[in-house]
Chain A
Amino acid sequence: MIHGFSIVWSERALLLSGLANTAILSAVAAIASLLLGFALTPALMSRKRAVSRVARALVDGMRCVPFLLFAYIVYYGFPSFGVRLDNWSAGLVALTIYNAAYMAEILRGAWSSMPREPIEAGVAFGFSDVRLFRRIILPPLLLSAGPVIGNQMIQIIKDSAFLTIIALPELTHAASSIQSRYYVPFAAFITAVALYWGLCLVIEAGVNLIGQLAEARR
């Protein structure tokens, strides 16, 4: 057992690079899906029924598809349309599009539970367009949606592990590779689990911080 861990320790560079890849991939996908979600949310809430219906169908539909399958489709299926993506791009695209649907739903929920009057006050005081959005609408929106977005980030990190199937060199893939070369499955995967847990704790700390900021203003 100790022997196993010493081998893992000697291969720590690979493991850490896997961890870094997981973190970077998840962070980029989270930001991208949040931005994409921001673009989708107005469509979800649009008064034009055709638009909102289509958006609702897309969001609900995406939430009914298993992510692993979606990643397979993006990686193996897109070449059928002449779009060949390498595993990094496919993984990023899959993570982003998939989670954009969830982010859109989260933002819609946060928006509809926000009180309207402070925003109206912003308009009455001469705020408009980008300024209104950036200084009056966005801060309270993010404060109230913070915990849920944080949970979604944890979900993204876990989904990123699925991408080991398309040979993306993230954390689980690194652990697998160490395991298959040295036959130290316990040490390798337990270490990976511990690292995932660490990532999750970091996100939860961030969410707690946002929760405290929100609480002071509640």
Chain B
Amino acid sequence: MTGGDIAAFAQGALVTVTLSLAGILLGLPIGLGLALIQWARVPIVARLVALYVSVLRATPLVTLLLLLFFALPNVGVPIDPYSAAILALVMNTSAFNCEIWRSALMNFPKDQYEAAQSVGMRAEQRFRRIVLPQIVRVSLPGLVNEMSLLIKVTPVLAVVGVVDITRAAVRIGAETYEPLPPFLIAVALYAPLVFALVSLQRWIERRQAAAEAAA
């Protein structure tokens, strides 16, 4: 492995982490917004959201990515690989996050909400101070799980030319005719990221279980 190779991996890692973060940070609030639309039963829009979520959860990321990357320029919207990547990631993860948020909202105890109403809190206050803190707590393990899944699908971005860890590994393998070592290095780069999130999820679950037991 040459110094250039190491640099290539480092740069790829940077791209992977950046794109993942973008996908995660954008996907969280968008997923929440979609869930709220469904929870509030906004006419027509809620149905469309349900359809969108159902389709997106069934669509492989690579298919979605290819669709966006090739079809958008065809209808007059130019797009570069990195924007297509972020768009595909966000669309995908927001659909999964929506289901997680929605489940928390559905299971939210009604009497707490009514108590907030009875003391005269306005809608925005009720949501911000009573509903949101609790659904964040309940959704956290699922959302962190989804983050680890997101990182695991980022290698597909290499398909449209994004120079991430996987692309670096493929290129080095093609150049050296030894594909295995760079792939193993790539695994060694992805695995800790995923493992960190999985450990975080387990830690959150343990803490919440302990808090519940103490209560």
Asked if A and B form a direct contact in the complex, defined as CB atoms under 8 angstroms apart, the reply is: yes
Q: A64-B194, A197-B54 are in contact. Are A72 and B67 (CB under 8 A)?
A: no
Contacts of B58 in A (CB 8 A): 154, 158, 196-197, 199-201
Partner of A186, one of B57, B74, B152: B74
Interface SS of A by simple majority? helix
Beta-carbon nearest neighbor of B157 in chain A:
A68
For the complex of A and B, the 10 pairs showing the least CB-CB separation, nearest first, are A161-B60, A185-B70, A200-B58, A189-B67, A76-B179, A77-B180, A186-B71, A68-B155, A158-B60, A185-B71
Whether B184 sits at the interface, judged by CB under 8 Å, is yes
- CA–CA, A47 and B50, complex, Å: 46
Whether B24 sits at the interface, judged by CB under 8 Å, is no
Considering only residues 126-178 of chain A, those with a C-beta below 8 Å from chain B are 154, 157-162, 164-165, 171-172, 175-176
Partner of A65, one of B62, B70, B190: B190
- Range, interface on chain B: 35 or more
B54, B60, B184, B187 interface centre (most CB from chain A within 10 Å): B60
Would you list 18 pairs from A and B whose C-beta atoms are within 8 A, ordered by A residue? A61-B191, A66-B154, A68-B156, A68-B166, A69-B166, A69-B190, A76-B173, A76-B180, A158-B60, A161-B63, A162-B62, A165-B159, A172-B62, A172-B63, A179-B70, A185-B66, A186-B74, A196-B59
Q: A154-B58, A172-B63 are in contact. Are A66 and B190 (CB under 8 A)?
A: yes
Is the beta-carbon distance between B191 and A197 smaller than 8 angstroms? no
- CA–CA, A65 and B186, complex, Å: 9
Beta-carbon nearest neighbor of B197 in chain A:
A64
List chain B positions with a Cβ less than 8 A from chain A.
54-55, 57-64, 66-67, 70-71, 74-75, 151-156, 159, 166, 169-170, 173, 178-180, 183-184, 186-187, 190-192, 194-195, 198
Contacts of A77 in B (CB 8 A): 179-180, 183-184
List chain A positions with a Cβ less than 8 A from chain B.
60-61, 63-69, 72-73, 76-77, 80, 154, 157-162, 164-165, 171-172, 175-176, 179, 183, 185-186, 189-190, 192-193, 196-197, 199-201
Contacts of A67 in B (CB 8 A): 152
Contacts of B66 in A (CB 8 A): 172, 175-176, 179, 185, 189
Interface SS of B by simple majority? helix
B58, B159, B169, B190 interface centre (most CB from chain A within 10 Å): B58
Q: A64-B198, A72-B183 are in contact. Are A164 and B67 (CB under 8 A)?
A: no
Q: Tell me the minimal C-beta distance from A61 to chain B in angstroms.
A: 7
In the complex, number of A-B residue pairs with CB atoms less than 8 Å apart? 122
Is the beta-carbon distance between B155 and A189 smaller than 8 angstroms? no
Is the beta-carbon distance between A76 and B183 smaller than 8 angstroms? yes
Q: A64-B195, A64-B198, A193-B63 are in contact. Are A73 and B187 (CB under 8 A)?
A: yes
Is the beta-carbon distance between A189 and B152 smaller than 8 angstroms? no
- CA–CA, A172 and B183, complex, Å: 24
Contacts of A197 in B (CB 8 A): 54-55, 58-59
- CA–CA, A67 and B40, complex, Å: 37
Contacts of B170 in A (CB 8 A): 72
- CA–CA, A161 and B195, complex, Å: 24
- CA–CA, A54 and B170, complex, Å: 30
Q: Tell me the minimal C-beta distance from B47 to chain A in angstroms.
A: 16
With A66-B153, A68-B156, A69-B190 given, name 20 new contacts (CB 8 A). A64-B198, A66-B166, A69-B183, A72-B166, A80-B179, A80-B180, A154-B58, A158-B58, A158-B60, A161-B60, A161-B62, A162-B156, A164-B62, A165-B62, A185-B70, A185-B74, A192-B63, A196-B58, A196-B59, A197-B54
